[in-house]
Amino acid sequence: MIVANPTLDRLLPDLLALLDSQVVSLGKRLGQMQELSQAMLDRSQERMDELLDEMEKAQQEQQLADIRLSAMRTTLARAVKVPVASFRLSHMLNLLPPDKSADLQFRRQQVIELAQRLRSEHMRAAVLLTEASRVNRMLLEALMGSAGVLTYGQGGTTNWNRRHGVVNAER
């Protein structure tokens, strides 16, 4: 049900601007995450370090943006007399005229899609790191000697004593 609410009309441009900044921020963070995955594949430690510094700064910016969004959410919830904990943008869509509702829905959908893509890219990077860690651990165990690592020779048979590493760490 659409009811004229001057407070909503006044706050809507600010909300749309906040959502636009979220879209830009999420896009930036998604790009950083994709670059980080590529830097891991390229084994570019220097680029990974640069990206991790950039990502830390982006996270700090995101925290400030989250505070601004939370304050806006509180203000909007009070304006429509809905408990803050249950207030959602989808609720607000029903309170706006169709043209304004469409603008809000468009930005809302962008944020949702970018957040999902960022979550997916984050999982991809986490899997990549986990796999790299596993391979590195296996290599170190093979080099240093460990009964838990099975290695094979050219003919497909085990041909060295696994209890003694290739590298003597005691020398």
Does 1.20.58 match the CATH number of domain 6-144? yes
Each residue's pLDDT tens digit, 48-66: 999 999 999 999 999 999 9
Confidence (pTM):
0.75
Q: How many C-beta atoms lie closer than 10 Å to residue 153's C-beta?
A: 9
CA 112 to chain CA centroid, Å, is 12
Domain ranges of the chain: 6-144
Each residue's pLDDT tens digit, 10-41: 999 999 999 999 999 999 999 999 999 999 88
**Between 114 and 141, where is the model more confident?**
114
Q: What is the DSSP letter of 86?
A: G
Residue 149 has pLDDT above 80, yes or no: no
